[in-house]
Amino acid sequence: MINFRYHLVSLAAVLLALGVGIVLGSGPLDDARTPLSSSDDKAGADPALTSFEDGYADRTGAPLLNGVLDGKTVVLLTTPDARADEVSGIVADLKQSGATVTGTLTLTTKLLDPANRQFAEGVAQQAAGDEDAVSGAGDGYGRVGAAIARAYVGEGALDEAGSTIASAFTEGDLVSTEKAPTTRASLALVITGPGTSDAAKGQGEIIAQLSTALAAPGEGAVVSGPSSSSEDGGVVAAVRGGDAAASVSTVDVTDSAAGRVVVALALAQQADGTVGSWGTSRSADGALPR
C-alpha cells in the first residue's frame, strides 16, 4: 500500500523537478515565461507534459488535501491579471481540503493604481466610520486593507458595518464581486497573475500592505501567484521582501497543478500559526510545507 509519506515525497519531487527545470530537459522554471498550465500561454507548453503534470497532481494531491482545512472558511481576492484556470483550480483544491469559499472579490485596477490611493483611503474611512480596526490602521493602503478585512474577514455573518463597507467599495469601483460573500471568512487568499503587463507593474507594495491588514482579524492570509510573480517587480516578491513577510505566507507556483495544491497546504499552515514561503527555488521554505 502506498502511504501518505510516499505521496508527500512524490509531490515534493515533482515540484523540485519543476523548480530546477529538469523536466524533459527544459530550462529553469524560475526563468520560464510560459507556465505549464496557464490559460494565456497553453500554445507554448507541451500538452502531453501538461496533461501528465495535471494527472499526477490529481492522484498525489488528494491524500495531502483531504481534511486539512476542515471547518475553515476562505475569502478569495484576485487581481485583474489573475488567470481564470488557476483560480478555478485553486477553488477545486480548497473544496477538496474541506474549506468553504465564502466569496470571490476582484481588486480593481482603480484600487491598485497608486494615483487613486487618497480616494481609496477616503472611501475606507468614510464607510468604516468610527470602527477602531480601520481608524487605528494608519494611513494609506493599510487602512484600505483594514476596511476590506472588517467587511470580509473574521467571525459570523456580514453585519451592518461590514455591509456598509462592502457597498462603498463596490460603488466606488474599488472592488467587484463575482460571488459576494454573505459571511466573513477565517482566512484570506490573494491570487495574483504574472504581473508582466504595464497595468500590473508596481502593484506589489500595495498588495503587501493590503494582505498584511487582511491577515490581522482572522487566522491569516496567503498571497499566491505564478512563478513570474516572485521575480523582481512581482507581487509575491514584494510581499516576501518587506514587512508583510512576517505575517503573510506566499506561494509562487500557481501555474502548475501541483503548485495549486501547495496553496491549500499553505493556508492550512497559516491557520496553524505558521507563516512560510513555498514554491520555486526563490522560496525560503522549500517546495511545500513539511
The 3-state DSSP class for residue 278 equals strand
Least confident of 11-20, 77-86, 90-99, 124-133: 11-20
pLDDT above 60 for 169: yes
HEC string of 146-206 equals: HHHHHHHECCCECCHHHHHHHHHHHHCCCEEEEECCCECECEEEEECCCCCCCCCCCCHHH
pLDDT at 129: 85
pLDDT above 70 for 255: yes
Residue 171 neighbours by CB distance under 10 Å: 11
Mean pLDDT of 5-23: 44
165 contacts: CB under 8 Å, gap ≥ 6: 124, 127, 128, 147, 148, 150, 151
Domain coordinates in residue numbering, the chain? 4-110+175-278
What is the band of 8 on the pLDDT scale with cuts at 50, 70, 90? Answer: very low
What global pTM score does this model have? Answer: 0.83
